[in-house]
Structure 1
């Protein structure tokens, strides 16, 4: 796919989580080409470069090395996976990520946000007397956003744990089933 289409799809998938400009996309694509993870070839349907006044479209394709690298990234669950800069992108590929890795990333993200929540609360308590009402509201808004994300993550973690226990083998769901296949979700009966 060419860069314009890639940007369009990424913006559709990631939405408000990440603003992707051509100024950041194309250098990244060049770096991926240089690493051998993707190839870039001029689109055969493009008019001759000098005649149209437009640049020829470059079509990018994942190489076998790129596919392998992508799988390595999906399998990793270290701190970088749950940081603000990466979590939304990693979450967008959760359907292609194994359940144990998904759970580690969700739990890591939750831990990171719980730590942040404590820091925000402590800061809020120390500085509330010195702030005007609008700054207090801004801090309260930030606190509520983090609390909301922690609740969302709690639900995802519970669902992930429950899905691993109760989903029958071969159900077609992206999450793998429990090999025993006999556990049920907490609070449900067979």
Structure 2
């Protein structure tokens, strides 16, 4: 399984954990809620759904309206609308994927998908993913600065500006990650110091309160200029 198809399967399982959906509705949610999938087509989505059904992680069901209209549908040749529903095994598999914090979770597209489901992710896992992503970007930024220092004299003004833009994009995301990490830590500290919070373990998807952006748009982790 390729990394890109793995990201799509993760996102499909995550969206269907929220509620069952038709394929069209699922594709719409992938495009609107998770912008990293804006280029995905039905030709990509449906093979993914078939794989997940074959794995036992999803089941196909006729929608409520279509179930009553099956005889008429067969006479007219129209295909009944299929609703995809997460199975218990699929939910368990998705929760296992949510717990992974390895290097793949820090890469651009995978991080964007993981972040989209942070509301369903445990706090400690969120912290490891955020810190891993920050380390990855700091390494990238160091390489970009070293490369620019070596090649600055040979670059024309426009190429130089493009390089600077890429660096600024990475720097902006690092600042954003710093705010998120600090917010997560503050939320955890507040919970530990609270009399009510000390009696319960935090395994929910609650955040510590996302930082307010000062008029900025949150950085796009899939921005090509930040690579």
Q: Within the alignment, does 1:30 sit opposite 2:50 as a pair? A: yes
Equivalent pair of 1:49/1:55 in contact (CA under 8 Å): yes
Question: Counterpart of 1:88?
Answer: 112
Question: Counterpart of 1:12?
Answer: 32
**Structure 2: gaps of 5 or more residues:** 1-20, 209-227
Normalising to structure 2: TM-score of the pair?
0.70
Offset at residue 138 of structure 1 (A):
1.2
Q: What number of residue pairs does the alignment pair up?
A: 174
Q: Distance in 1 between matches of 2:169 and 2:63?
A: 44
Question: Counterpart of 2:206?
Answer: 174
Offset at residue 55 of structure 1 (A):
4.1
Structure 2 SS opposite 1:45: helix
Equivalent pair of 2:122/2:205 in contact (CA under 8 Å): no
Offset at residue 175 of structure 1 (A):
4.1
Offset at residue 57 of structure 1 (A):
2.1
Normalising to structure 1: TM-score of the pair?
0.82
Question: Counterpart of 2:76?
Answer: 51
Q: Distance in 2 between matches of 1:146 and 1:34?
A: 40
* Alignment RMSD: 2.2
Offset at residue 43 of structure 1 (A):
3.0
**Structure 1: gaps of 5 or more residues:** 177-190
Question: Counterpart of 1:156?
Answer: 180
2:145 pairs, out of 118, 121, 131, with 121
Q: Distance in 2 between matches of 1:30 and 1:112?
A: 34
RCO higher in structure (CA 8 A, sep ≥6): 2
Q: Distance in 1 between matches of 2:137 and 2:170?
A: 7
Question: Counterpart of 2:167?
Answer: 143
